[in-house]
Chain A
Amino acid sequence: MASMNIDNVGKAYGGLTVIHGVSVEIPDGEFVVLVGPSGCGKSTLLRMVAGLEPITFGDIRIDGKVVNDLPPKDRDIAMVFQSYALYPHKTVAENMGFALKMRGETKADIEARVRKAAEILDLVPYLARYPRQLSGGQRQRVAMGRAIVRDPKVFLFDEPLSNLDAKLRVQMRAEIKELQRRLATTMIYVTHDQVEAMTMADRIVVLRDGRVEQIGSPLTLYDRPANTFVAGFIGSPSMNLIKGHIRASPAPYFETDDGIRLPLERTPAGSDGRPSYYGIRPEHFTLGGDVSAHVTVVESTGSETQVFATLGQQKIIGVFRDRVEEPASHTIAMTPNASLVHLFDSDSGLRID
């Protein structure tokens, strides 16, 4: 149980800077997810927090104490690795109790705590087995068990679910979230999967190329993305970004590069004629209205229908709860909900309010 303070932390290999000064404040007990495409530096950042990677500049504090130069063993953190990193020559119980043994706790104490953790994770029948005798999901739970028996100040997760199949991943996602509620320990979780980030996090840190793009709660990121990158990264299928210009008169509207008019509720001050992106999520289209698109493909999953279409020269996707048949004319009327439109500057990519 601890707060963590990542203050302008950076990493450079030789002359190549891969993390350009990241700052995140994490209050005690918060579940923070670092998310971003591969190569964005999220795992490196986590490893710097763990002490497995030296910090080039900036400070990392746990409970206000700078830990930059402390070795991993003195930071009181627990980490779950992507590959689980279970010790193959130790049983489940020995794997889970190893950290306690290293700390010099008594045998009875270790046994009791391992047992308690095993009960939480449904691992009691497997305590005497070796990692190679377990399934992927069980191994994953042992890796978590190894972390929770220690009762550390901070938990670190490095893409722990990426080796599991889709169904198990959804199940473990909920289990980890529940575990975090129960233990109320500060957690930092790294993933490239925005669905994982959205479903689990109290707060999400979106990283790209070693820089923070936005920090906020999942719904803040969804409802008010700060730039086109976050807009495109959060949400699936991702937000449609249509290029064009904002027009203020006679009434506010958006003119795409192909001259198609899209509805706007209002124009932000001084934005008349500004080249920009019109962001609309696929689920924020309504069938009908006066915007018509050329349908290329219609895909139905049963619960929803995805319509792939072109608006002038630009590709768009719409998602509807209603069943949509592919029209014979290949033309469909789908109109953006004007109150849910996001505008972004086309040069900087930043949100225009």
Chain B
Amino acid sequence: MTIIAQTYEEPGSLWSRRPQFLTGSLLIYAALVFWAFVSLFPIYWTVTTSFKTAVNVTQGHLIPFVDFMPDWKGWRSLGLSPDTIFAQSTVRDEFIRRFFNSIAASAGASFLAVIIGSLAAYGLSRFSYKFLWMKNKDISFFFLSQLILPPVVLAMPFLVLYKHLMLLDTLTGLVLVYTLMVLPIVIWIMRDQFDTIPVELEQAALVDGCSIWGAFLRIVLPIALPGMVAAFILSVILCWNEYFFAALLTSSNAKTLPVMVASQTGSQGINWWSMAAIATAAIMPLILVGIFLERYIVKGLTAGAVK
């Protein structure tokens, strides 16, 4: 209350305001700066480490050109440094294979999850179900409750199941697991999205000559599109970073980037520079997504929050 009242005190410089307002906002900004540092430092460390040599890593040099001279060593081992980019490189070929595996697994799973999840969410938003004692709210929570289960619990069952279904080390298998993994979140987001669309719009479409499916496809889906994009992007991010099931269910053929990053440990210890270079290359798409599509994500996730 007091803060709101004080912000209306005009005019005057920052310093003429009351002291508690100043300390209040200073504390807030200090906390924000601290949090930004906590969030961004790992990325900074990863990117700079990809330009370090072994000595710089072990001695904890942090600032390029001041602490240490950047070196292409990490990128060279990947075959992505300026001097090796046009040469043959088996590591680079492998990296590109893993990269496309990651894209296929995460995009495929997200696509599937958004389609299935939207249909489920539409049902939950528009119709009343009763399954045993469970009504719509319980069913929604049931979907979300799958996230409570630690993935480790599912490790053995999945391994055995996939062995019998011959899905081990296949992209299809990975896509199916990932679809299952992100489905609860997609359903949750899309249900909120559909809840904000007035039922009258569909009824108007029915009167205008649509069937129920026609009303869904022609009227509801286009309006819910921002939410679907948000759900899709979020799913892609989650799948892209997934390590556990990828490490468990793939070996050579369908291996994804996170597994490749983790496998940069040799007999001489961890190759920090090459691991950092792969990690940098692996997070780059997500950083681009974050920068360019952030507003779609926010728009989709906050739909219905403010009317």
Contact = CB atoms under 8 A, between A and B. Distances in A.
Interface string B173-213: 00000000000000000000000001011011111111100
Contacts of B211: 71, 73
B214 A87 contact: no
B209 A79 contact: no
B198 A52 contact: no
Contact of A102 (B200, B210, B223): B210
Given A83-B198, A88-B223, A89-B222, A73 B204 contact: no
Interface residues of A, number: 22
Interface in A31-57: 50-52
Contact of A87 (B201, B206, B209): B201
B203 A73 contact: no
A308 interface: no
Nearest to A158: B200
Contact of A73 (B198, B201, B206, B219): B206
Given A73-B211, A102-B214, A85 B206 contact: no
Given A85-B201, A89-B223, A102-B214, A52 B206 contact: yes
Contacts of B210: 73, 102
B197 to A, nearest CB: 9
B206 to A, nearest CB: 4
A73 B200 contact: no
A79 B222 contact: no
Given A85-B203, A87-B201, A99 B223 contact: no
Contacts of A81: 200, 203-204
A103 interface: yes
Interface string A91-110: 00000001100110000000
B207 A73 contact: yes
B219 A71 contact: no
A294 to B, nearest CB: 49
A98 B208 contact: yes
A273 to B, nearest CB: 55
B207 A50 contact: yes
Q: Which of the listed residues B200, B206, B207, B211 has the most CB atoms from chain A within 10 Å of its own CB?
A: B207
A146 B214 CA distance: 18
**Which of A71, A78, A82 has the largest count of B CB atoms less than 10 A from its CB?**
A71
Nearest to B222: A89
Interface in B121-164: none
B209 A73 contact: yes
A82 to B, nearest CB: 8
Contact of B200 (A72, A85, A99): A85
Contacts of A98: 205, 208
Nearest to A83: B200
Contacts of A72: 203, 206-207
Q: Give the one of B203, B205, B219, B223 with max A CB within 10 A.
A: B203
B97 to A, nearest CB: 41
Contacts of B203: 50, 52, 72, 79, 81, 85
B209 A103 contact: yes
B219 A102 contact: no
B219 A87 contact: yes
Contacts of B219: 87
A133 to B, nearest CB: 16
A83 B204 CA distance: 11
B224 to A, nearest CB: 10
Interface in A147-183: 150
B223 A79 contact: no
Contacts of A87: 201, 204-205, 219, 223
A99 B201 contact: no
Contacts of A77: 207
A87 B204 CA distance: 9
Given A85-B198, A89-B223, A103-B209, A79 B204 contact: yes
A51 B206 CA distance: 9
Contacts of A146: 204, 208
Interface in B48-102: none
A81 B199 CA distance: 11
B216 to A, nearest CB: 13
A12 to B, nearest CB: 17
A99 B209 contact: yes
Contacts of B223: 87-89
A279 B210 CA distance: 51
23 contacts: A51-B206, A51-B207, A71-B206, A71-B211, A72-B203, A72-B206, A72-B207, A73-B209, A73-B211, A77-B207, A79-B203, A79-B207, A81-B204, A82-B200, A83-B198, A85-B200, A85-B203, A87-B204, A87-B205, A88-B201, A102-B208, A102-B210, A150-B208
The list of the 6 closest CB pairs from A to B, nearest first, reads A102-B209, A85-B200, A99-B208, A85-B204, A72-B206, A73-B209
Interface of A: 50-52, 71-73, 77-79, 81-83, 85, 87-89, 98-99, 102-103, 146, 150
